[in-house]
Structure 1
Amino acid sequence: MNTRFSPQIAEQAVHWLIESQGEAFDQHQRQALERWLQADSEHQRAWAHIQQVNQRLRGVVSPVVHATLQAPPSPARRRALKALLLVGVASATGLGLQQHNPLPGLMADYRSPVGQRRRLSLEDGSQLHLNTRSAADVRFDGQQRLVRLREGEVLLDVVEEPRPLRVRTAEGELHLARGRFDIRQFDGFSLVSVFSGQASVAGQPLLAGHQARFAQGGWQAIAPLDPNRAAWVDGMLVVSQMRLTDFLAELSRYRLGQLACSERVADLRISGSYPLEDSEQVLDMLEVALPVRVRRFTRYWINVEAATS
């Protein structure tokens, strides 16, 4: 079998295998899996291979593997099985895990692959939305409510109850009161947006209608809330006078491959509402809205350049 596929596609195949084995795998998810399979032959190769790896694991004589496969459904089992599958794929295909380390996301309780979003109802009645390529752990017990953002972005609709709700990012812990909050992990800081309620770090509050970077030591660069920050929950990218290069960077979060623009058009400004479900349509709209042309070298390598006169 041809086992040449990228680490990113391997991640997606592992995700879909875990999802397909879950009790909550419904007709909507089956259709999503089928669309993913039909999108590219690389997906089909990765899917076939990950199924073979899964079968081989069942024949491995190992107490750890046996305990993982036989354990009842739970977040811990999901994380362990993802790790086993990843190791099996890497050993069989020679994927470069040093150059691309998907373990933090793969081992999370909940994950959304590139281009997909998820909504989860938590046991306390709160709602957790996962943006594209995001991963989070959820730990609720008698004393606490804890959400760990491993990567990406979440939006939380938090209900009020005696247990505090904390969100842990790479920079530390946030304490959230009842309300709506968007939290995005960047490299070196988190961006927190408070639509309602109040967030705090080490006793420092961030009130509704504001957003700020959260880094070691507390809040930084507190600013008025961008009201469009949560538009992704409704499947939209809403921008106002955004630089084209920044717009493409945001759009690229929802698709695979390279999406960039030349320096000549990088500072062009764009406004409007754009559907995240169809990035190809959005790229076509760019040629109408701006003096640019979209060059598609392959479906995964796209560059936006100045339109010819």
Structure 2
Amino acid sequence: MSAAHSNIQGLNERVALQAAQWFFLLNSGDATATERHRCAQWRAADPVHEIAWQRAERINQTFQMLPGDLAMPALGRQARTDRRAVIKTLAVLLVAAPVGWQGWRLASGHPWLADHRTQTGERRELRLPDGTRLTLNTASAVDVAYDGTRRLLRLRAGEILIDTAPDSVAANHPAYRPFMVETPAGMLRALGTRFVVRRLDDDVSAKLPGLNGSAAHAYSEVAVLDGAVEIRPAANADRVLVLRAGQQTAFTDIAVEAPGVLSPQVDDWARGILRATDMRLADFLTELGRYRPGVLRCDPAVADLKISGVFQLRDTGPVLDSLPQALPVSVHYRTRYWVTVGAPEG
């Protein structure tokens, strides 16, 4: 074995991070000619650099870590967060590869390594082994862990719609396996139900009563269309709430918000539509932005305009192009992936 191949077994974190950063940049579509030249120089400077690069290519082929819409500029806060997460994950895999990627995948919790995932703008419906129907919304990721004692979904990112099937035995049978959904905020137990779960990883200290001024907490939302769902916060397991059909709520790892009336639009996304009724334009664009790569900005000058209608999510371009016909706004494309909605030009 060559010295370079021997050294790669002990690949240090600095080289792994450099390789991950270069690999992401050159696959992003944003690299300039100068940056491509500098990357080539970096690869040629040390045999270990080149081997690290080749390993990055193999890992990406194995795990499909870089989404198909990666050509978007990593401009927004969420995009920057995703970029850092991918780079960090790839760097760790470069170091961890010799000890086994599959075990690392199961322990890492990274969305791009999940059992099932969707890219930005994609929706997917699955049939699980017990007959449960699972629909993944845009940019979502979930692990499926069925065993002899429970049926468990781990929501790693995004939003899912679940239509649970009964277990093979009755609920009062000793071998009955409850259907569970786990998020960082806590555990949900389905009680014969159809429900939506959404994971949000922002700082939510101001979103739920009693959390103002406290540290950030894991945050999830759940809405029940049929049946009921038991909510158990991760760090406050004694505080259990049963959410009934026609109710929705939000919860963190320590608190559960009082249930509210179910929004009639809560599962519209599963039918590929976004319904707005006197919605603030800023809120509308935030929601629409979940279904398109890149950055979609709203100028504060038009943020409070109200919009109503039913919009198709399959192609968000026509939705944006129609806004000036409905509202006193203009739509400015800096690039295909950087769009600003603002006051009318002139």
Give the distance between the partners of 1:15 and 1:182, measured in 2 at CA.
Answer: 33
Matched with 1:182 is 196
Asked whether 1:150 is paired with 2:156, we answer yes
Contact 2:329 2:344 in 1 (8 A): yes
Q: 1:180 to 1:250 in 2, by over 3 A?
A: same
Matched with 1:204 is 241
Give the distance between the partners of 2:156 and 2:317, measured in 1 at CA.
Answer: 29
CA deviation digits over 1:207-263, x for unaligned, max 9? 000100011334204211011111111111112111110111111111111101111
Contact 2:297 2:341 in 1 (8 A): yes
Matched with 2:224 is 194
Give the distance between the partners of 2:150 and 2:323, measured in 1 at CA.
Answer: 47
Give the distance between the partners of 2:130 and 2:161, measured in 1 at CA.
Answer: 16
Matched with 2:310 is 273
Cα distance, 1:121 vs structure 2: 0.7
The alignment partner of 2:275 has SS state of strand
Matched with 1:111 is 117
The alignment partner of 1:283 has SS state of helix
Cα distance, 1:291 vs structure 2: 1.0
5+ residue gaps in structure 2? 1-21, 31-56, 74-92, 168-175, 203-217, 233-239
4+ long deviations beyond 6 Å: 13-16
Map 1:28-177 to 2 at 5 A.
64=99, 76=102, 79=105, 104-161=110-167, 162-177=176-191
For residue 184 of structure 1, what is the amino acid of its counterpart? R
CA deviation digits over 1:74-121, x for unaligned, max 9? xx58937xx8xxxxxxxxxxxxxxxxxxx7112211111111111111
Contact 2:28 2:71 in 1 (8 A): no
For residue 150 of structure 1, what is the amino acid of its counterpart? R
The alignment partner of 2:256 has SS state of strand
The alignment partner of 2:114 has SS state of coil
CA deviation digits over 1:150-193, x for unaligned, max 9? 11111101112231111111111011111211110112311100
TM-score, with structure 2 as normaliser = 0.63
Matched with 2:26 is 4
Larger Rg: 2
User: Which gives a bigger RCO, structure 1 or 2 (Cα 8 Å, sep 6+)?
Assistant: 2
Give the distance between the partners of 2:262 and 2:304, measured in 1 at CA.
Answer: 23
The alignment partner of 1:220 has SS state of coil
Asked whether 1:297 is paired with 2:345, we answer no
Q: 1:129 to 1:15 in 2, by over 3 A?
A: farther
For residue 178 of structure 2, what is the amino acid of its counterpart? P
Give the distance between the partners of 2:117 and 2:320, measured in 1 at CA.
Answer: 27
Contact 1:149 1:169 in 2 (8 A): yes
Q: 1:16 to 1:122 in 2, by over 3 A?
A: farther
Contact 2:193 2:229 in 1 (8 A): no
Give the distance between the partners of 2:129 and 2:150, measured in 1 at CA.
Answer: 12
Contact 2:28 2:72 in 1 (8 A): no
Contact 1:129 1:155 in 2 (8 A): yes
Q: 1:166 to 1:223 in 2, by over 3 A?
A: same
The alignment partner of 2:243 has SS state of strand
Give the distance between the partners of 2:59 and 2:268, measured in 1 at CA.
Answer: 25
Matched with 2:38 is none
Q: 1:210 to 1:16 in 2, by over 3 A?
A: farther
For residue 181 of structure 1, what is the amino acid of its counterpart? F
The alignment partner of 2:148 has SS state of coil
User: Which of 206, 214, 220 in structure 1 is aligned with 2:251?
Assistant: 214
Contact 1:160 1:177 in 2 (8 A): no
Q: 1:16 to 1:216 in 2, by over 3 A?
A: same
Identity %: 40
The alignment partner of 1:237 has SS state of strand
Give the distance between the partners of 2:278 and 2:126, measured in 1 at CA.
Answer: 33
Q: 1:301 to 1:234 in 2, by over 3 A?
A: same
Q: CA RMSD in A?
A: 3.4
Contact 1:146 1:168 in 2 (8 A): yes
Give the distance between the partners of 1:15 and 1:241, measured in 2 at CA.
Answer: 47
Alignment size in residue pairs: 246
The alignment partner of 2:249 has SS state of strand
